[in-house]
Amino acid sequence: MSIDIRGGVELPAIREDIELHTSDGLTLVGELAMPLSGTPIATLVTLHPLPTHGGFMDSHIIRKAAARLPALADIAVLRFNFRGVESPRGRSDGSFGDGIDEAEDLAAAMVFVAERGLPDPWLLGWSFGTEVALKYGQRHPIAGVILLSPPLHRAKDSDVAAWADATVPVVAIIPELDDYLRPVEAAQRFAVAPNIELVNVEAGKHLWVGETQTYRVLTEIVARVNSAALPLPTTWE
């Protein structure tokens, strides 16, 4: 019997509650979702939207990536709550760091990736998470960066320009109807790093609500991280 892959459907994976430990003494809560084989092709290190506006490790695109991609694309998905953020998994220590102290949270995640030997880590930032990726991602050994709905508020032009000589792929997925940064302005703001690939999504919105937009986003992610897994199926046997 097949089921439709949509909404909150969670496909088979090895799921483990994990903790990250920052250099400034905080414990962050999270989850690692692995393919059942235990041998992922690549890893997504997910960085969630703005905590002060309800962003957390269960923000729906990140939750659905963890629910689907280990099974559909052999991708490991690491998701966690930034400092001071609470979800059903629990609450991370500390308090919101306005995109500055979260540099330590990303560093803790990358230490975890290295300790576990997780392959080819890609940073997947969404909204506020893109700011953390742009400002601090180059400090770490990564395979690439995917920026989902980048607002470019805390990340300045100099932070973007710093990626102009990046040796890894950087992709920005821009919703046509974004609340903060739409395609025309995005082309101007990212012009300082012409190597960054801009993907403009017709009718896309900042929160990517609905299965059509979810499927499009997950397809764009998998196209970069493990293109052999495309097209993503819409049913599961």
Residues 46-94: pLDDT tens digits? Answer: 999 999 999 999 999 999 999 999 999 999 999 999 999 999 999 999 9
Calculate what percentage of the chain has a pLDDT beyond 70.
100
Q: Is residue 9 part of a domain?
A: no
Q: Are strands 75-80 and 86-87 parallel, antiparallel or unpaired?
A: unpaired
227 token code pair: 């293109």
Q: How many domains, in total, are found in the chain? A: 1
**Confidence (pLDDT) at 214:** 98
pLDDT-based confidence at 130, cuts 50/70/90? very high
Q: Is residue 187 part of a domain?
A: yes
Contact 59, 214 (CB under 8 A): no
Residue 44 β-bridge partners: 77, 122
25 burial level (CB within 10 Å; 0-12, 13-18, 19+) = exposed
Q: For residue 1, is pLDDT > 90? A: no
**Confidence (pLDDT) at 177:** 98
Q: Is residue 160 part of a domain?
A: yes
Q: For residue 102, is pLDDT > 90? A: yes
In three-state secondary structure terms, 101 is: coil
Report the distance separating Cα 174 and Cα 182, nearest Å. 6
174 token code pair: 């821009």
Q: Is residue 74 part of a domain?
A: yes
Q: Is residue 138 part of a domain?
A: yes
Considering only CA atoms, which of 128, 63, 72, 119 is closest in space to residue 100?
Answer: 128
Q: Is residue 184 part of a domain?
A: yes
Q: Is residue 233 part of a domain?
A: no
Contact 120, 86 (CB under 8 A): no
**CATH number for the domain harbouring residue 125:** 3.40.50.1820
> Which structural domain range is residue 167 located in?
19-225
Q: Is residue 11 part of a domain?
A: no
